[in-house]
C-alpha cells in the first residue's frame, strides 16, 4: 500500500504536476499575447540607429520644438513612437505632432495631444494615415509644446530607444503571393525575437515550471542555492519586465514562501534581501533608470511584506529557526574562505 502511495506521489510530483505547469505556461503565453493587443499584421522597426531627435532630456517649454528624423525600415509606415518622461510631476501641456518626408514642404499629418496621457519612460504612439511606399525614405517630424512650463511640461526621455516606428500590413498584401508571405514571416519572427516583451512573457509563463523543476530536482538541502535562485529570479523580473504585474511575480513570490517554509528561514533573512533591493533601487535611481528603480522598490516592498508575514507567523517559535541572519553571514563568509 505504502509502495503504491509512494509511486502515486512520485507520479504526481515528477510527472503530473510538471505537465500541468507546462500547460499553464502554454496557456498563459498564448492568452497574454492575445489580451496584450500584440497584433499579427504589423512590424516594428528593429534598427533604430538611423533615427535621431534633439532636445532629449530637456524640458519642453512653451514654443519649444523637438525635431526628429528617421529612415523608414519598411513600407506602410503608420506610427511613430517617442519616449517621454514627466519627471515625476503632472504634465498638463499640449503638444503638436507633425510629420513629413525629408525635403518636402508640406506636412503629411499634424495633430494635438494632451501630455497628461504620456506615461513616464514609455513610448507614446503618434499615429497617422498609413504611408504605403515609405521603405528607405527619410522622414522628419516635430513635436511642439503649446503651454509647457518648468514644472508642468514634458521631457523627451533619454532611455533607448527614444524613437521607434510601426508598419501596418493588410491580410490581402500578406496572402497575395508566397513571396510576400515568406518575407513577412521572416521579419515577424525577427520582430518577436527582438521584442523583449515577448521574451519576458515567455519566461514568465514558463517560470513556474522552471522554478518547480529546480525545486524538485536540484539542491534540496542547500538553502543558499535556493535563496540565490529566489533573489536571482526577482532581479530577472526587474530587468526583463517593463511593468510590475502581480500575475508575473506570483510564481517568484510562491518560490520565496516555499523556500522559507522548506528551510525554516527567519523573516529577517528575507529582510536582508529587501534592503539589498533598496540599495539596488538607489543605484538605479542614480543611473536615472526610474522605471527599473520603481520595480526594484516594489520588489523590495514585496520582500518586506514577506519578511513581516514570516516574522509574525513564526514569532513564538524562533528557537526552531534553522536559518538566521547570523547563520547566513557565517555560511557566506565560510564559503568565501
CB of 45 to other proteins, least distance (A): 28
- In sequence order, what E strands does 7-50 have? 42-44
Q: How far is CA 234 from the centre of its chain?
A: 13
Of 46-54, 104-112, 194-202, 268-276: span binding other proteins (CB under 8 A): 268-276
What one-character DSSP code corresponds to residue 116?
Answer: G
CB of 176 to other proteins, least distance (A): 42
Distance between CA 165 and CA 67 in Å, rounded?
A: 16
Distance between CA 156 and CA 192 in Å, rounded?
A: 26
C-alpha cell at 32: 497574454
Site size with other proteins, rule: CB under 8 A? 44
C-alpha cell at 130: 498609413
Q: Residues 77, 51: contact at Cβ < 8 Å?
A: no
Q: Which of residues 54-83 bind other proteins (CB under 8 A)?
A: 59
Between the CA of residue 96 and those of 70, 93, 118, 279, what are the distances in Å?
18, 10, 13, 40
Characterize 220-253 residue by residue with b for buried, 16 or more Cβ atoms within 10 angstroms of its Cβ, and e for exposed: eeebeebbebbbebbeebbebbeebeeebbebbb
CB of 240 to other proteins, least distance (A): 16
CB of 207 to other proteins, least distance (A): 16
C-alpha cell at 337: 574562505
Of 28-36, 42-50, 75-83, 145-153: span binding other proteins (CB under 8 A): 145-153
Parallel/antiparallel/unpaired status of strands 65-71 and 109-114: unpaired
Parallel/antiparallel/unpaired status of strands 109-114 and 94-101: antiparallel
CB of 281 to other proteins, least distance (A): 5
Q: Which of residues 81-100 bind other proteins (CB under 8 A)?
A: 87-90, 92
Residue 257 binds to other proteins (criterion: CB under 8 A): no
Nearer to other proteins, 14 or 312 (CB): 312
Q: Which of residues 289-308 bind other proteins (CB under 8 A)?
A: 290, 293-294, 296-298, 300-301, 304-305, 307-308
CB of 64 to other proteins, least distance (A): 15
Element (H, E) at 95: strand 94-101
Q: Mapping DSSP to helix (H, G, I), strand (E, B) and coil, where does residue 75 land? A: coil
CB of 165 to other proteins, least distance (A): 28
Contacts with other proteins, 100-139, as mask; x by CB under 8 A: ----------------------------------------
Which residues contact other proteins (rule: CB under 8 A)? 59, 87-90, 92, 149, 151-152, 243-246, 249, 268, 271, 274-275, 278-279, 281-283, 285-288, 290, 293-294, 296-298, 300-301, 304-305, 307-308, 311-312, 315-316, 325
Amino acid at each position: 500500500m505504502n509502495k503504491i502511495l509512494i509511486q502515486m506521489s512520485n507520479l504526481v510530483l515528477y510527472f503530473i504536476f510538471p505537465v500541468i505547469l507546462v500547460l499553464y505556461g502554454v496557456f498563459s503565453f498564448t492568452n497574454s499575447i492575445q489580451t496584450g493587443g500584440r497584433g499579427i499584421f504589423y512590424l516594428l522597426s528593429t534598427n533604430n540607429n538611423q533615427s535621431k531627435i534633439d532636445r532629449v532630456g530637456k524640458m519642453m517649454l512653451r514654443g519649444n520644438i523637438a525635431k526628429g528624423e528617421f529612415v523608414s525600415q519598411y513600407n506602410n509606415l503608420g506610427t511613430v513612437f517617442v519616449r517621454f518622461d514627466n519627471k515625476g510631476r503632472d504634465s498638463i501641456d499640449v503638444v503638436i505632432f507633425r510629420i513629413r518626408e525629408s525635403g518636402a514642404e508640406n506636412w503629411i499629418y499634424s495633430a494635438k495631444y494632451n501630455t497628461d496621457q504620456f506615461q513616464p519612460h514609455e513610448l507614446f504612439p503618434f499615429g497617422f494615415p498609413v504611408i504605403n511606399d515609405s521603405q528607405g525614405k527619410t522622414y522628419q517630424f516635430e513635436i511642439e509644446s503649446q503651454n509647457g512650463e518648468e514644472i508642468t511640461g514634458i521631457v523627451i526621455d533619454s532611455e533607448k530607444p527614444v524613437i521607434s516606428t510601426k508598419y501596418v500590413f493588410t491580410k490581402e498584401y500578406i496572402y497575395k503571393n508566397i513571396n510576400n508571405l515568406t518575407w513577412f514571416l521572416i521579419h515577424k519572427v525577427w520582430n518577436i525575437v527582438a521584442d523583449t516583451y515577448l521574451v519576458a512573457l515567455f519566461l514568465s509563463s514558463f517560470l513556474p515550471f522552471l522554478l518547480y523543476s529546480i525545486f524538485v530536482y536540484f539542491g534540496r538541502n542547500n538553502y543558499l542555492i535556493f535563496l540565490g535562485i529566489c533573489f536571482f529570479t526577482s532581479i530577472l523580473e526587474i530587468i526583463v519586465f517593463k511593468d510590475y504585474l502581480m500575475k508575473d511575480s506570483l510564481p517568484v513570490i510562491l518560490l520565496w514562501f516555499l523556500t522559507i517554509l522548506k528551510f525554516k528561514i527567519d523573516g529577517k533573512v528575507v529582510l536582508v534581501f529587501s534592503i539589498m533591493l533598496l540599495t539596488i533601487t538607489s543605484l538605479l535611481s542614480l543611473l536615472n533608470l526610474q522605471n527599473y528603480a520603481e520595480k526594484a522598490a516594489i520588489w523590495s516592498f514585496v520582500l518586506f511584506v514577506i519578511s513581516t508575514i514570516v516574522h509574525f507567523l513564526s514569532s513564538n517559535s524562533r528557537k526552531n529557526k534553522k536559518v538566521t541572519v547570523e547563520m547566513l553571514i557565517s555560511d557566506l563568509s565560510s564559503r568565501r574562505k
